[in-house]
Copies of this chain bind each other. A is one copy, B any other.
Amino acid sequence: MLYLVGLGLADETDITVKGLEVVKKAERVYLEAYTSILLVDRGKLEAFYGRPVIEADRELVESGSDEILAGADKTDVAFLVVGDPFGATTHTDLVLRAREMGIETKVIPNASIMSGIGCTGLQLYNFGQTVSMVFFTENWRPSSFYDRIKENVQLGFHTLVLLDIKVKEPSLENLARGRMIYEPPRYMTVAQCASQMLETEEERKEGVYGPDSLAVGAARVGAADQKLVAGTLKELTGVDMGRPLHSLVLLGRKTHDLERDYIREFAVDKATFDASWQKSYGATS
């Protein structure tokens, strides 16, 4: 049996009791360590589980899935995924490959950022599609996220923006030279995301949002030092939310008073928050 086990969002104790039983009994345990991270390292997990954990990077999962699946028709293999195994990153390809090989699979769900973002007090029913924001470079500034946010904004929905992480990625220069030397990990911050959003609006000029649009920054959802900040996009370009992971929610206009009351508590500046709110939000559907 191949078990895909969700680890939740913050630390080693966010695994479910059911998931922990699987991890303790499995023959081999892999940790998917390239699309998201916990706030604790692999050593902490190994100590908590009382057993070794094999780090599975992108190469191993995408080209070496046979190694992961080897023998899983007879014994149990656990594949650990930060968040939920079918959340922000969907490991359907691994399950499809297992099916082809006649290996049974079982998923142990857990919190995903796609639902955990509810901790902002914003109602998940009021969210439209989720978008991703990648690190802009000098020559690559993809703005497809802008079109998607536009669809949500037109319907009055909130948009969850998932922020890029670069873990164990070779630099373009090293790739060109055929060297597998990895860059230090990078994690996009709420401030960087807000800046890139505003830059894109300045280029596209379709008025999808602006410096006064309200958003909520969320850092380390589910952790003891979880931090939430509400403010205008302009204000958020200047906030320091601390260590990763960060996410951002752009508010839609279809908001409920309970949502306002909830997020106003952690506004950067209650006066600008109230002014922006008064001007553009609170329309009920």
B155 near A109 with CB under 8 A, answer: no
Chain B residues positioned under 8 Å from A93 (CB to CB): 258
Is there a chain B Cβ closer than 8 Å to A15's Cβ?
Answer: yes
- CA A92 to CA B18, docked complex, whole Å: 28
Chain B residues positioned under 8 Å from A259 (CB to CB): 92
- CA A193 to CA B80, docked complex, whole Å: 34
Binds B, one of A122-130, A177-185, A199-207, A235-243: A122-130
The number of times this chain is found in the oligomer is 2
Q: CB < 8 Å: which of B119, B125, B128, B151 contacts A107?
A: B119
Q: How far is the CB of A187 from chain B (nearest CB, A)?
A: 20
Beyond A16-B8, A109-B116, A111-B109, whether A129 also contacts B130 by CB under 8 A is no
Q: How far is the CB of A274 from chain B (nearest CB, A)?
A: 17
Chain B residues positioned under 8 Å from A121 (CB to CB): 86, 90, 92, 95
Is there a chain B Cβ closer than 8 Å to A64's Cβ?
Answer: no
Is there a chain B Cβ closer than 8 Å to A265's Cβ?
Answer: yes
- CA A155 to CA B152, docked complex, whole Å: 10
Is there a chain B Cβ closer than 8 Å to A96's Cβ?
Answer: yes
B262 near A110 with CB under 8 A, answer: no
Is there a chain B Cβ closer than 8 Å to A84's Cβ?
Answer: yes
Q: How far is the CB of A249 from chain B (nearest CB, A)?
A: 12
Chain B residues positioned under 8 Å from A118 (CB to CB): 84-87, 90, 112, 114
Is there a chain B Cβ closer than 8 Å to A115's Cβ?
Answer: yes
A109 near B16 with CB under 8 A, answer: no
Is there a chain B Cβ closer than 8 Å to A1's Cβ?
Answer: no
Is there a chain B Cβ closer than 8 Å to A217's Cβ?
Answer: no
- CA A109 to CA B130, docked complex, whole Å: 19
Given A126-B129, A128-B129, 4 more A-B residue pairs with CB atoms under 8 Å apart are A15-B16, A110-B110, A111-B112, A115-B115
Query: What are the nearest 4 A-B pairs in CB distance?
Result: A86-B118, A109-B111, A112-B115, A115-B115
